[in-house]
Structure 1
Amino acid sequence: MCREERCKKHGPVIRFPFRIKGKQPDHCGYPGFDLSCTDRKETLLELPTSVKLYVKKIDYAAEVITANDPENCLPRQLLNFNLSTSPFKFATWLQLDLDFFNCTSGQRYSYNSLMSCLGVPGYDIYFFPSGSVATYFDLTSCTKMYSLPSVPDELNGRDNILHLNWSRPACGLCGAQGKLCRLKNNTDRIETECYDKPKSNEGIIKKIVAAVTTVGSAILLLIVFAFYRRLQILYMKCSEDYRQDATIGSKYSKEISLAKNGKIPH
């Protein structure tokens, strides 16, 4: 049985096609979807090209993961970002071919194109859409470093956020049906299937607690009622005894009064 896991309390839920390497057996995940937990309990995805990302969210229905760079500098990893052998692709449809330049500090071209985390003392790193440099910018104080094709547009921002999606295994349909996804048993090929979610122990426990609470409340009401009834009976008995004592006392008082007057009561 493959249970859902997390690296930390509020971390992303990890289930098929993902698995935690070294903690869950191979059949709990799909090839290429191994995750691991760091010493700081971060959820780590390591791509085939040694690119390491922290996974912050996994949308199983949309088949998209939200990740960021552990060093808070995604552009630094772009040179190694080859997804050709990975099951993941850039989720952002807008992608640009970019040229990267090393410029002398003090030059100001465009703040939006400044890669501040890549700079070194005395030099700043800028990126520009390929082919636009000669038209719009004077880069006489810059040296071209390299060009990168198909860079996701979201890397132009400062959020250090990257979205990756996957198409295989196609488990999104299972989620849309309220089911889970897993590897098929007894097959020579790697195939997946949808299956019903197991009943949650938490739901059963809640029902038991509710039942116990209801029964306990009923028993408590019965005890209170019985106690009240007993008090009522004692009160009625005491009242009856009081009336009898009062009647007897009244009779004796009358006899004593008659005796004092020289009359003998009959």
Structure 2
Amino acid sequence: MHESSSEMADYCLTQVCSYDEPVSRYVQFPFLIKNDSMPSFCGYPGFDLICNGNDKLLITLPNNLGSFSVQEIDYVNQQLWLNDVDNCLPRKLIAINGSSFVGKSSFYPILEQDYWFYNCSNEFFNSSHNLKIMLIGCLSGESYGVFASPLETIVKGNYSSLCSKIGPIKVPVGPNEEDYPLDLRGDIRLTWSKPLECGKCYERNGRCRFKSYSNFEVECVHLPHHGLSKQAIVAIALAFATPLILVTFCITYFVIKAVLHRRGHGNGANTTLALAVAVNPQPQIVIHGLDQSVIESYPKVILGESKRLPKADDMNCPICLGEYMAKEILRTIPNCGHCFHVDCIDEWLHLNASCPVCRNSPLKTPENNVL
């Protein structure tokens, strides 16, 4: 009476009469095989089972109902499927006529159907061709036959003298009594309401047991864990996201740098601006550049083979940093005389009204030359 529920659970294992039996006959809480070595707290009161000499699982019901063989235990829907130990359920039902499945037992029928049993001579069967009859083999003989019917008046008129009737006999059936065979070879189905929580527990693949010895309160344990906790998901996300962001940034940076190095000119200004935005994004600002007509008025020069420029040390475009090549078209800024690739400086002047080197505002001096 002093052990904890976890210590109690160590003793309570799944029981079987024989491992040759199907899984549907394996025994666990609230049922308990009494002639096994399992402690009594491993089963709920009134759910005792036994194994007979043939390793068959049996249950004994009160109210003089006697013993039945257990065909199946549905722990989720809390249903018990029973049949006669001697495989003649109709004889068992007739023998307990007058006793009810509803009583002191922990189990009760899902639904009961009234049946009438008819014991008729062979003369009846030879003359009754319109009846749909299924003989009950274990009750019939050479000169007579026994059948059951949910209809009391199935034998009428002159045929009544050829049959004797017993009934009504209440037969526990499933939710759809019309599916129950007329020869009553099917299993009777019972259910239980306490402990109710165990059905929900087994549906979630858990394990039902007593919380303690002190009362009949049960609990559901050993529920499987589905998925990861929120903390684990956040930790994994951060672990993957951080290096991914760094790698993405590095790849972007080196790709842009490689494009700059390969092209050396042309759209260098566009790429430089893209790199600036990618590395150090700035808030939106109002752009004040020059009109295209003004930009076109600035002198253009075609670089000759000697690559002579007004300033001898100006061998690279200050915008794209690419080296000037012969036959390239350059544009100079009036007044300060700084040279640039045409595409580079045109793009710049669309955004800015000053020289990118000295920041002086140029003068309009239209002129095209060859250097």
The alignment's TM-score, normalised by the length of structure 1, stands at: 0.63
Q: Work out the CA distance in 2 between the residues paired with 1:159 and 1:76.
A: 11
Overall identity of the aligned pairs, in %: 30
Report the equivalent of 1:82. Answer: 100
- Show the counterpart of 1:180: 207
1:66 aligns with 2:81: yes
User: Could you tell me which amino acid in structure 2 is paired with residue 70 of structure 1?
Assistant: V
Map residues 6-45 of structure 1 onto 2, 5 A cutoff. Answer: 6-11=16-21, 12-23=25-36, 24-45=38-59
Q: How many aligned positions are there?
A: 195
Residue in 1 that maps onto 2:271? none
1:38 is displaced (CA, Å) by: 1.3
**C-alpha displacement of 1:111:** 5.5
Alpha-carbon shift at residue 37 of structure 1 (Å): 0.9
Within-5 A mapping of 1:222-241: none
Aligned to 1:116: 137
Relative to structure 1, the CA distance from residue 197 to residue 157 in structure 2 (aligned partners, 3 Å threshold; closer, same or farther) is farther
In structure 2, relative to structure 1, the CA distance for the partners of 1:161 and 1:131 (3 Å cut) is closer
Q: Is the 8 A contact 2:124 2:163 kept in 1?
A: no
Superposed displacement of residue 4, structure 1: 0.8
Shift of 1:190: 2.3
2:118 maps to 101
Give the Cα separation in 1 of the matches to 2:164 and 2:172. Answer: 20
Question: What stretches of structure 2 of length at least 5 have no aligned partner?
Answer: 1-10, 225-371
How many angstroms apart in 2 are the aligned matches of 1:27 and 1:64? 22
**Structure ID, larger Rg:** 2
Conserved 8 A contact 1:53-1:70: yes
Letter in 2 for 1:29: G
For residue 76 of structure 1, give the secondary structure of its aligned residue in structure 2.
helix
Provide Cα deviations, 1:10-64, integer angstroms capped at 9, x if missing partner: 3221111100113222211111111111111111112112432222322211212
**2:124 and 2:206 mapped to 1: Cα distance?**
56
SS of corresponding position for 1:117:
coil
| 1:164-175 pair list within 5 angstroms | 164-170=190-196, 171-175=198-202
Counterpart secondary structure, 2:16: coil
Question: Could you say which residue in structure 2 is the equivalent of 1:128?
Answer: 149
Secondary structure of 1:139's counterpart equals helix
| Contact 2:17 2:51 (C-alpha < 8 Å) held by counterparts | yes
Retained in 2: the 8 A contact 1:16–1:29?
Answer: yes
Which is worse superposed, 57-66 or 104-113? 104-113
Give me the whole-angstrom Cα distance separating, in 2, the residues matched to 1:173 and 1:132.
44
Match 1:4 to one of 14, 17, 22: 14
Q: Which structure features the higher share of helix residues? A: 1
With over 3 angstroms needed to count, the CA separation of the structure-2 counterparts of 1:113 and 1:197, relative to structure 1, is: same
User: Contact 2:88–2:185 at 8 Å: present in 1 too?
Assistant: no
Residue 180 of structure 1 and its aligned partner are, at CA, apart by 1.1
| Cα distance in 1, alignment partners of residues 157 and 170 from structure 2 | 20
Q: Which amino acid aligns with 2:107?
A: F
Partner SS for 1:172: helix
More strand by share: 1
SS of equivalent residue, structure 1 residue 6: coil
Contact 1:119 1:125 in 2 (8 A): yes
2:361 maps to what in 1? none
Contact 1:102/1:126 (8 A) holds in 2? yes
CA distance in 2: counterparts of 1:147 and 1:19, whole angstroms: 34
Query: For 1:168-206, what per-residue CA distance to the aligned partner results, in whole angstroms no more than 9, with x for missing partners?
Result: 21111111232111123153x4222212269xxxxxxxx
Cα 1:186–1:42, aligned 2, differ >3 Å: closer, same or farther? closer
The answer to whether the 8 A contact 1:113-1:128 is kept is no
What is the match of residue 254 of structure 1?
none
Distance 2:48 2:212 in 1: 20
Unaligned runs of 5+ in 1: 199-266
Distance 1:150 1:157, change over 3 A: closer
Moved more, 147-156 or 64-73: 147-156
Contact 1:74–1:155, Cα closer than 8 Å, also in 2 = no
Assess, with a 3 A threshold, how the Cα gap between structure 1 residues 45 and 178 changes in structure 2: closer, same or farther: same
Range with bigger deviation, 148-157 or 80-89: 148-157
Counterpart AA for 1:54:
S
Matched, 1:141 2:162: yes
- TM-score where L is the length of structure 2: 0.47
> What is the alpha-carbon distance in structure 1 between the residues aligned to residue 170 and residue 188 of structure 2?
16
Q: Show the counterpart of 1:193.
A: 219
